[in-house]
Amino acid sequence: MVYQASEVRYEHMHYRKTGNSGIQLPLISLGLWHNFGAVDTRENGRNMIRRAFDLGITHFDLANNYGPPPGSAELFFGEMLKTDLAPYRDELIISSKAGFKMWDGPYGDWGSKKYLVSSLDQSLKRMGLDYVDIFYHHRPDPNTPIEETMQALDLLVRQGKALYIGISNYDAKETAEALKILDELGTPLLIHQPSYSMLNRWIEDGLQKVLEKNGVGSIAFVPLAQGLLTSKYLNGVPEGSRASKETSLSRDSINEEMLSKITQLNELASERNQSLAQMSLAWVLREGKVTSALIGASKVEQIEENVKALNNLEFTNKEISKIDAILSKK
């Protein structure tokens, strides 16, 4: 059956301006870090992408090494672009990144111009695209001059292979340095992708101010702390979860102190008529400082639940104080 997107897909999603640019992103975006690789069920991945778009999620975030194996998430998304999403390309914001190891040898990792240009060429081939909407440098490279990395991003925009550029995992000082170079080159920085959640607030220590001052958007990855800020771990570590597999979340992080905190947060979420996941996303998006929250998903129902976070984005001062008090307990 040929996929036809929902005719009401833009009626309920909220969109937010990305810094000083003309781009608006959905408040909830979908990341393909996990569950869209060659080892995963194709039909499930297809259903999640279709449902996300039907709910107004227009932004799909990838990287060269997403899978597993590396590259397979882009290949899968490329298949979706040829079939289901072919009529809708101009309604989508598609991003990719490079900065972690992708191939053997000295040119398949970090931030050299050689690596970044080669990696984006490979990503475009895998997805069957002429350009991506956003291309990120995935992490700072201590061994490559930041000037070279920023020149590579500038070059890729001038070549027409990326419409906008972003950076990820850069701290406040590194971001300010990157901004200065990009300003001199004449290619603006659209967006920063940092990790950010109630359990991980490092961007509030300087980075957010740099982004606001310079008109740069932000999209928070792991806003649900790899599932910790959901109902998944309230009763321990279920089989099949990330913590049980010890992949990107360790069992040790699910200790008594953490269980106490997420249990109390869950109680507060219930008082707000939200799930813990919904409240956690609303918290990240509060006050409009973050452009979009980047979710992951393993099934359609998770996407549907997360989008409902937009039904209640407001917090009282009392609720914010209570969250801070819960999280500060030892």
User: DSSP string covering 12-31, please?
Assistant: S--EEE-TTSS-EEESEEEE
The pTM of this model reads: 0.95
Domains and CATH numbers, the chain: 15-227+287-310 (3.20.20.100)
Could you tell me if 220 and 292 are in contact, meaning their C-beta atoms sit under 8 angstroms apart? yes
The residue among 219, 168, 161, 213 whose CA lies nearest residue 187 is: 161
Structure confidence at residue 237 as a pLDDT band (50, 70, 90): low
pLDDT (mean) for 136-144: 98
For residue 218, is pLDDT > 60? yes
- State whether the Cα torsion 283-284-289-295 is positive or negative: negative
pLDDT at 12: 94
pLDDT at 250: 61
- Residue 248 DSSP one-character state: S
pLDDT at 315: 98
Residue 45 CA to residue 298 CA, distance in Å, equals 8
What secondary structure does DSSP assign to 37-52, as a single string?
Answer: STTS-HHHHHHHHHHH
Looking at the chain, the whole-number percentage of residues with pLDDT higher than 70 is: 95
* Lookup result for tokens 């957010």: 208
The token pair that represents 254 in the structure block? 């699910």
pLDDT at 2: 87
Residue 311 CA to residue 191 CA, distance in Å, equals 25
For residue 103, is pLDDT > 80? yes
Give the burial class of 163: count Cβ atoms within 10 A of its Cβ; 0-12 exposed, 13-18 middle, 19 or more buried.
Answer: middle
Give tens-digit pLDDT for 165-192: 999 999 999 999 999 999 999 999 999 9
The token pair that represents 311 in the structure block? 């039904």
Give tens-digit pLDDT for 19-64: 999 999 999 999 999 999 999 999 999 999 999 999 999 999 999 9
Greater model confidence, 246 or 96: 96
Could you tell me if 192 and 207 are in contact, meaning their C-beta atoms sit under 8 angstroms apart? yes
Structure confidence at residue 251 as a pLDDT band (50, 70, 90): low
Provide the mean pLDDT of the chain. Answer: 95
pLDDT at 256: 86
